[in-house]
Amino acid sequence: MHPEQRRAIYVTRKVREAAGYVELGLFEQALECLDIQDLGPWEGPVSMFKGQILAAQGRFRDAAVAFERAAQLFPPPHDRLAWLTLSHCLRQAGDTTRAIQMLGRARGAFPRQLFLPDSGTSSG
């Protein structure tokens, strides 16, 4: 079996295990299951799941970090749900200004290109 296949099976098992803990209301154990090193292509979905667990615990600032990471990893337009949930967490955490900004990104009002560093070229 190829190492990437073994890794995929391992990550899938850990995510299923975490989902089981969530169903039982054992959120800390679920988060421990998701503490996986070197996630590769699964980092976005696992970050999204971590954010959901943290938000369910009322840990909105920690959840916001996880959702922001997921949003950065997902390509548009698949990143919109992560930006939206990030916005909700920021609002719950009391950061209304950033919540509004992230809501704009969720709606597609602010394309990713606007947030990239300036390449030094001018448009005039």
**Token pair for 109:** 């009002």
pLDDT in tens, 71-80: 999 988 889 9
pLDDT in tens, 26-64: 999 999 999 999 899 999 999 999 999 999 999 999 999
> What is the count of structural domains for the chain?
1
**124 part of a folded domain:** no
**57 part of a folded domain:** yes
Question: Tokens 């448009």, residue?
Answer: 123
**12 part of a folded domain:** yes
**49 part of a folded domain:** yes
Instruction: Count Cβ atoms below 10 Å from residue 82 Cβ, excluding itself.
Output: 25
**118 part of a folded domain:** no
Query: Range of 78's domain?
Result: 3-113
**123 part of a folded domain:** no
What is the model's pTM? 0.82
CATH number of the domain enclosing 39: 1.25.40.10
